[in-house]
Chain A
Amino acid sequence: MRYKEFNSNKVLEDCISLFWKKGFNGSAINHIVSQTKVNRFSLYKEFDNKHGLLYATLKLYKERYCLEAVNQIALTKDVNEALKKFLFSYINRDGKPSGCYIIYIATELGDHNEYVNDLLKSYLLEIETTFVSLLNTDERYRDTSKLIASNLILLFCNAMCFCHIQDEIESQEFISLNLDIILNN
């Protein structure tokens, strides 16, 4: 039996950093090889092709970073606080750029790549469903939870873009202001 000489998750983390910087199409295979220090043959053996690698990075990102943020929502009692915490968690992540890798990749590829498009859809739906459950825990929002959740999804997408042109404080203020308008109307 031949042992794999590399740790797949480490390779994927390296690829996330690379793609998130140079874009998927802007990352040539030799960039990937030098970033991951794994040769092309082994990469293709593990992930089939460059797209296989991309899909694996998206899956890892979602499992490793987004699920955690989504689970955090259930642990916070106050609705406004829970939403703030969730959205803020995308703004300042140790060692990662602000924003969301899935939205970044969807901005580049979501128009033509069905896999990326489906992933964006299921990802946002998952977040929206979590929002609805959260809102249902508070009687003030229960009757309109679906409507509010859909406004919050728009806010999520907005914030994932605006955090690139605002500093951390401005982003937090932008999010708080939007939450106030959406929740306290």
Chain B
Amino acid sequence: MAQANDQSYNDLVLKARGLFWEKGYQETNISDLADRLDISSSLIYRKYSKDMLFIDSLNSYIASFSDPALEELRNSKEGLETFRGFFNGLIDALLTKTFPRSCFMINTVVELHNKQDRLDLTEVYNSYFGNMRSTFVIILKRAVELDEVQKVDKIEKYADFLSGIIPGLSVLYKIKNKEELQQYINQQLALIV
């Protein structure tokens, strides 16, 4: 098999990410990885490891999808409408299969529910959900300034509430259509007062 030494580590992680996203962590074995990455199994054993490629796949997912979307939220001038755009964008990504199989992060949380300590996933989760939550707080504060939200003391709670939408959508998109999913978002946002 080609050793493909010209591939950067980033290239390898991108390929690994696609595979882990489609198949999950447990179903992906070293020879699947070797095939997808176009390198030998022994190189994976020697130089990388399945766990290392997996954690970096998650980090790459955060860097490619989550971070830019959240930055866009923070830079927006709007209040609650920002959330609608954000969640509707996520619905589109889930339905049009821009995402190979649901949200990679949520898949991982559910799949590896009993392995998160062994794989040091807590740090990855904290970075993902923590960043999302703190961005939501910024938007909610702006919504207060814009007079869209009156209950200022509830902002932190609203941020937790809205952070929960992503896992819910990651399940419901499997059985609901776009209008139904957008309806969920409208209903949730209507509860922010």
Identify the A interface with B (CB < 8 A). Answer: 21-23, 25-26, 97-99, 103-104, 106-108, 110-111, 117, 120-121, 124, 147, 150-151, 153-162, 164-165, 174, 177-178, 180-182, 185
List residues 85-127 of chain B with CB under 8 A from any CB of chain A. Answer: 101-102, 106-107, 109-111, 113-114, 116, 122, 125
Which listed segment binds A: B9-17, B39-47, B159-167?
B159-167
Beyond A108-B24, A157-B167, 6 additional contacts (C-beta under 8 Å) are A103-B171, A104-B113, A151-B188, A162-B167, A174-B160, A177-B160
- Known contacts A111-B101, A157-B171, A177-B157: A185-B184 contact under CB 8 Å: no
Asked if A107 and B102 make an inter-chain contact with CB atoms under 8 angstroms apart, the answer reads yes
- Known contacts A174-B164, A181-B158: A107-B171 contact under CB 8 Å: yes
Q: Which residue of A lies closest to B156 (CB)?
A: A177
**How many angstroms from the CA of A162 to the CA of B172 in the assembled complex?**
15
List residues 6-34 of chain B with CB under 8 A from any CB of chain A. Answer: 23-24, 26-27
B187 CB to closest chain A CB (Å) equals 6
Asked if A157 and B168 make an inter-chain contact with CB atoms under 8 angstroms apart, the answer reads yes
**How many angstroms from the CA of A98 to the CA of B116 in the assembled complex?**
13
Residues from chain B with a CB closer than 8 A to the CB of A120 are 171, 174-175
> Interface size for chain B: under 10, 10 to 19, 20 to 34, or 35 or more residues?
35 or more
Secondary structure type dominating chain A contacts: helix
**How many angstroms from the CA of A119 to the CA of B102 in the assembled complex?**
18
**How many angstroms from the CA of A124 to the CA of B184 in the assembled complex?**
15
Asked if A158 and B167 make an inter-chain contact with CB atoms under 8 angstroms apart, the answer reads yes
Residues from chain A with a CB closer than 8 A to the CB of B174 are 106, 110-111, 117, 120
Asked if B27 and A21 make an inter-chain contact with CB atoms under 8 angstroms apart, the answer reads no
Residues from chain B with a CB closer than 8 A to the CB of A21 are 114
Does B83 count as interface, using CB distance less than 8 angstroms? no
